[in-house]
């Protein structure tokens, strides 16, 4: 855990979030500024900065994130979803605790902006 990390504080319960899934590996909660009808962030309990670091340092948690993303999509958007990782500030990452955006619930067009 990182003391100054927003997502670590959500995991610890210090900052409220609308959680949709929680297990020993991950926490998933609704995005506060959704870009689709279903927009859920999936984060590992282990603090790592981005998806590449997660693959290198905690691959089992990255796998758990993928399973959680599918579970959320199965429950909320017919099993189909887009899973987005922003890596680095210029790519749109604003919280440097790896998180995958589960997007769905509508026909998704490509719009990276």
Return the H-helix or E-strand segment holding 60.
helix 59-76
Cβ proximity of 64 and 25 under 8 Å: yes
Return the H-helix or E-strand segment holding 83.
strand 82-84
> Any bridge partners for residue 44, and if so which?
26
Residues with active-site annotation: 99
């Amino acid at each position: 855990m990182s003391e100054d990390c927003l997502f670590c504080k959500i995991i610890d319960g210090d900052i409220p979030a609308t959680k949709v899934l929680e297990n020993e590996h991950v926490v998933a909660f609704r995005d506060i500024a959704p870009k689709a009808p279903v927009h859920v962030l999936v984060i590992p309990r282990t603090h790592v900065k981005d998806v590449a670091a997660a693959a290198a340092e905690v691959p089992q948690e990255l796998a758990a994130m993928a399973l959680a993303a599918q579970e959320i999509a199965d429950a909320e958007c017919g099993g189909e979803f887009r899973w987005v990782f922003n890596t680095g500030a210029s790519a749109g990452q604003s919280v440097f605790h790896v998180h995958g955006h589960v997007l769905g619930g509508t026909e998704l067009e490509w719009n990276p902006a």
